[in-house]
Amino acid sequence: EGVASIAAGEASQAEGSFTVAAEYASHAEGEETYAIGYAAHTEGYGTRAKGNYAHAEGDSTQALGYASHTAGYFTVASGDYQSAIGQFNISSSAESAFIIGNGTSTSNRRNLLFASGSTVQITGSLNISGSTNAAQIDNGWVILSQVSMSLNSADDTAASASGVPLGGLYRNGNIVTGK
């Protein structure tokens, strides 16, 4: 329904202007959106959902991975189960990643936050307000106020012997320090 919209896939729906729902149960809405993956969904302007079960929303976003999601402005979710929001993020194939882009153009893509597996990378400043028992940020150092006793090892050998491979972080009172 709409202007020059095409619902080519069985049980698909295309609405708006120049939208295409190409696969089974796909749904494209808005203007110049393309739902190409199986049961994919697009909305907004110029969005593409190529991964099966993917969802792209906003302006010129691309959900390429299986069950991926992207929102915002020129964001790309390349990995399976990935979510990218914000604007002009750096694309990654990491599975299950959460990305907040803060780039300024397609030639200047940046990530404010990238989280994948057990790693969270923040590019920029982190300000914590209120109270926390876990950490205090002080001039680029993280000072832990409550340290698990499992960190109470003298060196790598002692840490490894107790099943805690720390890679050079040891407890010294309430502060964890490097070698």
Is residue 82 pLDDT above 70, yes or no?
Answer: yes
Kindly indicate the confidence band of residue 106, based on its pLDDT and cuts at 50, 70 and 90. Answer: very high
pLDDT by residue (tens digit) across 110-132?
Answer: 999 999 998 889 998 776 665 55
Q: Which residue has the tokens 């020059």?
A: 4
Output the pLDDT for position 176.
46
Identity of the residue numbered 179: K
Q: What is the dihedral of CA 103, 137, 151, 122, to 10 degrees?
A: 0
Q: What is the pLDDT of residues 150-166, one digit of tens each?
A: 455 555 566 566 655 44
Q: What three-state secondary structure class fits 30? A: strand
Which pLDDT belongs to residue 125? 78
- Stated pTM of the model: 0.73
- Judged by DSSP in three states, 33 sits in coil
Q: DSSP assignment of 64-123, as one string?
A: -STT-EEEEES-EE-STT-EEEEESPPP---TT-EEEEE-SBTTB--EEEEEETTEEEE-
What does the alpha-carbon distance between residue 52 and residue 168 come to, in Å, rounded to a whole number? Answer: 43
